[in-house]
Amino acid sequence: MKYFSQFLLLIVAIAVLLGLQYQYWLGENGHSQHEELMVEIEKQQQINDNQVADNNILRADVHDLKTGLEAVEEHARLDLGLIKPNETFVQLSTAPTTTTLQAQ
């Protein structure tokens, strides 16, 4: 009877251990879901880093617009096509040109 109770205790301990292992590897919030979450976190961190870089560029642009006239002038020239007084506007075409030979 002494060995039977020890054997029964060993069986219960193994069953508990197997149950815990199942929960760890395959259960809800287990190891596999943890790995999936880590991959998602890595992707989101990459997206966040890209957004931070874009925000820094926009902050620098806003700072330039608030403090310097060069940035305002550049935007006016590029976006609105404005020119200064007594300035000659020259526009160069980048379209390909074709020539035809005329028969003489």
| Core vs surface per residue 50-89: b (16+ CB within 10 A) or e | eeeeeeeeeeeeeeeeeeeeebeeeeeeeeeeeeeeeeee
pLDDT tens-place string over residues 29-60: 888 888 999 999 999 999 999 999 999 999 99
pTM of the model: 0.50
Please give the pLDDT value at position 31.
85
Domain ranges of the chain: 31-82
